[in-house]
């Protein structure tokens, strides 16, 4: 039986380098990186990274500066056909270049050499990735880094204590979400079932969760979520199919200062974040002042021609009213009524300038009255035509401005999302499903955003998010959070600094900011100098892909109690419970080992009805055949230095 795994990584960006680092953290695995850069700066970064990895892992890391699309280079990396030798390592190829077509091509070339090789590929489109997965039938996983990271950005926006999030069940949810977005644009009926909810890990003190003084069972009932760790200890733990719960820890009341990690639906956990109460509705007096200011601005923007027409119509209306008061011997109210019905061409006939004109000759006075009456009609038709055209144009302009233009948003407690690309669009969907008011700033909105704005499901501002005036229109001083997820790290930082400056000027407080910073070193510098934490798509995705290189059930890897002496690393996994209903299996190099794991939730289908997420605490009795089991595995049990 093979006791070693050879993982061939194809790619030359930060994601590929971090995947190599993550894989090399685990014993029993060799990594071969294949890539060739033509651009000088990228080639220099590649050479530096390769030198560092070779120095740190001289026996388990190799590099080929060759074209990965050449089958001969895959063989040079160590990939062999099944019949080449009696003892072979477990093979896996991880194709994570920024070219989806190249990733697929390399994966197929590897399968041509060895049909048993495990395939993990990066695909921009989750739907296409799912189709590739289905087409290759077995031992293949396609992942979209953007879709994978979007869940954490959205969850952290509504609960700053959230450090990792995902939809559950994972793959089916991501595919359904993308299809659902496309269906809205095509006008297709989607039914009533929405994708499953967003789940996340949050770390706070027991007091901040509002569970101080409660034991674990009571706290979970209060939070409607699972407590997975308390000061570095796991209250519920399984060894294979055996239950090893810490009954003492479960029954002990939580101190206010106890650090707790909770996992569950973000919609439930976010309600316990007390600092969210800081965003209040605007006072009535302030809203009235803003309304008056908006009216004054609107009056200043009125076209000069329209002002002249309005003045002329008022003067004519007054003159006609005075004339008919004397000409027809009417009182002022009757005269105004007659002029108004004449100018609007209503003409009820109860008052007429000439009663016997059809049967008798008209005198000069009657002729003058008739001529003035006709002039009144013509003036009315012209004036109201101008007003009708102006009002129509104003309504159209207001509609376009609401959909695409810049205008001041008067919401409170909303979330501002800057950037609506592949990551931002999914963040917007997650936030809407969490019941948040979303204000989107995007330079070039697509049809989906336009449709959402037209249906008043979001507020859309078309403009440059790095412009301070654009951010000012979003009312950041009344917002719950700002999420910067454009494709530029510097643009995201500029947006955050602009919003924070306005926030401090207006209310002397800091705005909760969630930034996408793909350069890990740049993100660390931002936190060190500006005090702004950020998430990297690479940081969130690389550990997951590294885990997928060996186990297709991997859904993430993260640290809890990071930066403290209690820090521990866990791998998150999801598996389908077949008819045998077996516990999580041991790794290939440790056959028969009973893996220690923490049960979290199962996704259980109820006939033809929508499934439901059920919290679980042990394997026996809680997990059933047909369930989707979500669990986390402490990786310190595989640390060979600890005697494993």
Q: Which residues of 97-117 are buried (b: 16+ CB within 10 A; e: fewer)?
A: beebebbbebbebbbebbeeb
Q: What is the DSSP string of 518-550?
A: --HHHHHHHHHHH---EE-HHHHHHHHHHHHTT
CATH of domain 1-143: 3.40.50.720
CA–CA separation, 477 and 370 (whole Å): 63
Cβ(11)–Cβ(35) under 8 Å? yes
Two structure tokens written together for 307: 């002002």
- 564 Cβ contact list (under 8 Å, min separation 6): 259
Domain boundaries, the chain: 1-143, 278-282+410-535, 289-403
Mean local confidence (pLDDT), 402-423: 80
CA–CA separation, 356 and 320 (whole Å): 22
User: DSSP 3-state assignment of 3?
Assistant: coil
Cβ(335)–Cβ(321) under 8 Å? yes
Q: Is 324 left (phi over 0), alpha (psi -120 to 50) or beta?
A: alpha
Two structure tokens written together for 178: 């993308």
CATH of domain 289-403: 1.10.287.70
CA–CA separation, 534 and 526 (whole Å): 8
By C-alpha distance, which of 278, 269, 277 is closest to 161? Answer: 269
The confidence score (pLDDT) of residue 188 equals 47
Most confident of 103-107, 269-273, 306-310, 452-456: 103-107
By C-alpha distance, which of 119, 74, 121 is closest to 98? Answer: 121
Pairing of strands 513-516, 242-243: unpaired
CA–CA separation, 629 and 101 (whole Å): 33
Q: What is the pLDDT of residues 561-571, one digit of tens each?
A: 988 888 999 99
Tell me: pLDDT of 75 over 80: yes
Q: Tell me phi and psi for residue 268, to 5 degrees.
A: -85, -40
Mean local confidence (pLDDT), 102-110: 94
The confidence score (pLDDT) of residue 1 equals 44
How sure is the predictor about 400, in pLDDT bands with cuts at 50, 70 and 90?
low
Which is more confidently placed, 411 or 307?
411
Mean local confidence (pLDDT), 453-477: 87
How sure is the predictor about 51, in pLDDT bands with cuts at 50, 70 and 90?
very high
Please give the helix or strand (H or E) that residue 130 lies within, else none: helix 126-136
Torsion (CA) 614, 619, 623, 628 in degrees, nearest 10: 80
The confidence score (pLDDT) of residue 361 equals 75
The confidence score (pLDDT) of residue 282 equals 53
- 587 Cβ contact list (under 8 Å, min separation 6): 28, 550, 551, 593, 595, 638
Mean local confidence (pLDDT), 400-427: 80
CA–CA separation, 408 and 297 (whole Å): 12
Name the one residue in this structure whose structure tokens are 């919401």: 411
Which is more confidently placed, 367 or 595?
595
Neighbours of 374 (CB within 10 A): 12
How sure is the predictor about 296, in pLDDT bands with cuts at 50, 70 and 90?
low
Cβ(127)–Cβ(104) under 8 Å? no
Tell me: pLDDT of 620 over 80: yes
Mean local confidence (pLDDT), 328-351: 86
Two structure tokens written together for 7: 């993982």
The confidence score (pLDDT) of residue 406 equals 63
CA–CA separation, 510 and 278 (whole Å): 11
Q: Is 553 exposed, middle or buried, given 0-12, 13-18 or 19+ CB atoms closer than 10 A? A: buried
Neighbours of 380 (CB within 10 A): 22
Q: Tell me phi and psi for residue 582, to 5 degrees.
A: -85, 155
**Domain 1-143 and domain 278-282+410-535 have a common topology:** yes
Range from 16-20, 196-200, 211-215 carrying the lowest mean pLDDT = 196-200
Tell me: pLDDT of 462 over 90: no
| Reported pTM | 0.79
The confidence score (pLDDT) of residue 510 equals 79
By C-alpha distance, which of 126, 124, 251 is closest to 179? Answer: 126
Which is more confidently placed, 436 or 412?
436
- 419 Cβ contact list (under 8 Å, min separation 6): 441, 442, 465, 484, 485, 486, 487, 492, 516
User: Mean pLDDT over all residues of the chain?
Assistant: 84
Q: What angle do CA 497, 503, 508 make, to 5 degrees?
A: 120
Percent of the chain at pLDDT > 70 equals 86
The confidence score (pLDDT) of residue 501 equals 86
Q: What is the pLDDT of residues 147-198, one digit of tens each?
A: 889 999 999 999 999 999 999 887 555 545 555 555 544 454 444 444 458 9
Range from 149-163, 391-405, 475-489, 611-625 carrying the lowest mean pLDDT = 391-405
Cβ(261)–Cβ(560) under 8 Å? yes
- 96 Cβ contact list (under 8 Å, min separation 6): 9, 10, 11, 13, 15, 16, 19, 103, 120, 121, 122, 545
Q: Cis (ω within 30 of 0) for the bond into 515?
A: no
Range from 380-389, 463-472, 473-482 carrying the lowest mean pLDDT = 380-389
Q: What is the DSSP string of 350-412?
A: SS-S-SSTTTSPPPHHHHHHHHHHHHHHHHHHHHHHHHHHHHHHHHHHHHHHHHTS------S
Which is more confidently placed, 600 or 338?
600
Mean local confidence (pLDDT), 613-632: 93
How sure is the predictor about 145, in pLDDT bands with cuts at 50, 70 and 90?
confident
Domain covering 278-282+410-535: architecture: 3-Layer(aba) Sandwich (3.40)
Tell me: pLDDT of 412 over 60: yes
The confidence score (pLDDT) of residue 195 equals 47
Range from 147-151, 276-280, 315-319 carrying the lowest mean pLDDT = 276-280
Give Cα separations from 364 to 327, 348, 367 (angstroms): 12, 25, 5
CA–CA separation, 369 and 320 (whole Å): 10
CA–CA separation, 167 and 164 (whole Å): 11
Q: What sign does the CA torsion over 441, 446, 452, 453 have?
A: positive
Q: Tell me phi and psi for residue 442, to 5 degrees.
A: -145, 135
User: DSSP 3-state assignment of 235?
Assistant: coil
Which is more confidently placed, 395 or 555?
555
Percent of the chain at pLDDT > 90 equals 43
How sure is the predictor about 291, in pLDDT bands with cuts at 50, 70 and 90?
low
How sure is the predictor about 644, in pLDDT bands with cuts at 50, 70 and 90?
very low
Name the one residue in this structure whose structure tokens are 């697929």: 104
Tell me: pLDDT of 258 over 90: yes
Q: What is the pLDDT of residues 215-244, one digit of tens each?
A: 999 999 999 999 999 999 999 999 999 999
Neighbours of 492 (CB within 10 A): 29
The confidence score (pLDDT) of residue 267 equals 93
């Amino acid at each position: 039986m093979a006791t070693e795994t050879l993982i061939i990584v194809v790619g030359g960006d930060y994601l590929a380098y971090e995947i190599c680092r993550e894989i090399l953290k685990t014993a029993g695995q060799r990594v071969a990186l294949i890539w060739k850069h033509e651009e000088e700066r990228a080639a220099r970064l590649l050479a530096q990274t390769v030198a560092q990895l070779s120095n740190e892992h001289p026996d388990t890391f190799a590099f080929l500066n060759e074209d990965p699309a050449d089958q001969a280079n895959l063989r040079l990396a160590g990939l062999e056909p099944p019949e080449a030798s009696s003892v072979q390592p477990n093979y896996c190829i991880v194709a994570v270049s920024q070219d989806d077509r190249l990733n697929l091509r390399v994966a197929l070339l590897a399968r041509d050499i060895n049909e048993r090789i495990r395939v993990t590929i990066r695909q921009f489109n989750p739907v296409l990735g799912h189709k590739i997965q289905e087409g290759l039938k077995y031992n293949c996983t396609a992942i979209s880094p953007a879709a994978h990271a979007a869940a954490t950005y959205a969850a952290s926006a509504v609960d700053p204590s959230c450090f990792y999030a995902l939809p559950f069940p994972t793959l089916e949810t991501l595919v359904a979400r993308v299809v659902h977005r496309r269906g809205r644009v095509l006008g297709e009926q989607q039914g009533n079932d929405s994708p499953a909810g967003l789940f996340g890990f949050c770390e706070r003190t027991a007091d901040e969760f509002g569970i101080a003084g409660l034991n674990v069972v009571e706290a979970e009932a209060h939070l409607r979520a699972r407590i997975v760790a308390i000061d570095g200890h796991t209250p519920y733990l399984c060894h294979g199919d055996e239950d090893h719960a810490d009954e003492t820890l479960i029954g002990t009341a939580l101190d206010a200062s106890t650090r707790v990690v909770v996992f569950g639906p973000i919609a439930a956990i976010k309600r316990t974040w007390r600092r969210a109460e800081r965003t209040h509705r605007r006072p009535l007096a302030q809203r009235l002042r803003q309304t008056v200011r908006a009216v004054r601005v609107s009056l200043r923007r009125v076209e000069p021609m329209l002002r002249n027409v309005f003045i002329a119509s008022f003067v004519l209306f007054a003159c006609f009213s005075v004339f008919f008061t004397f000409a027809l011997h009417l009182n002022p109210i009757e005269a105004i009524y007659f002029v108004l019905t004449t100018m609007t061409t209503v003409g009820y006939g109860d008052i007429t300038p000439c009663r016997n004109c059809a049967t008798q000759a008209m005198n000069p006075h009657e002729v003058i009255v008739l001529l003035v009456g006709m002039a009144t009609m013509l003036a009315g038709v012209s004036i109201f035509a101008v007003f009708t055209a102006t009002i129509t144009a104003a309504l159209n302009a207001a509609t376009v401005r609401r959909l695409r233009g810049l205008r001041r948003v008067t919401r409170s407690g909303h979330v501002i999302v800057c950037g609506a690309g592949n990551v931002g669009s999914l963040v917007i969907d997650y936030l809407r499903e969490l019941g948040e008011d979303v204000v989107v700033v995007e330079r070039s909105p697509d049809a989906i955003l336009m449709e959402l704005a037209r249906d008043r499901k979001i507020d859309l501002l078309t403009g440059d998010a790095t412009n301070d005036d654009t951010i000012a229109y979003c009312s950041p001083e009344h917002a719950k959070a700002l999420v910067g997820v454009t494709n530029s790290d510097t643009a995201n930082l500029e947006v955050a600094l602009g919003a924070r400056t306005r926030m401090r000027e207006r209310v002397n407080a800091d705005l909760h900011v969630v930034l996408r910073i793909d350069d890990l070193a740049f993100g660390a510098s931002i936190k060190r100098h500006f005090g702004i934490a950020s998430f990297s798509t690479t940081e969130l995705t690389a550990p997951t892909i590294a885990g997928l290189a060996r186990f297709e059930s991997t859904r993430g890897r993260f640290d809890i109690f990071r930066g403290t002496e209690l820090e521990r690393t866990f791998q998150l996994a999801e598996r389908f419970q077949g008819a045998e209903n077996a516990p999580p299996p041991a790794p290939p190099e440790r056959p028969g080992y009973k893996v220690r794991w923490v049960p979290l939730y199962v996704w259980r289908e109820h006939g033809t009805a929508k499934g439901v997420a059920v919290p679980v605490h042990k394997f026996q009795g809680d997990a059933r055949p047909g369930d989707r089991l979500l669990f986390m595995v402490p990786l310190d049990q595989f640390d060979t230095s600890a005697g494993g």
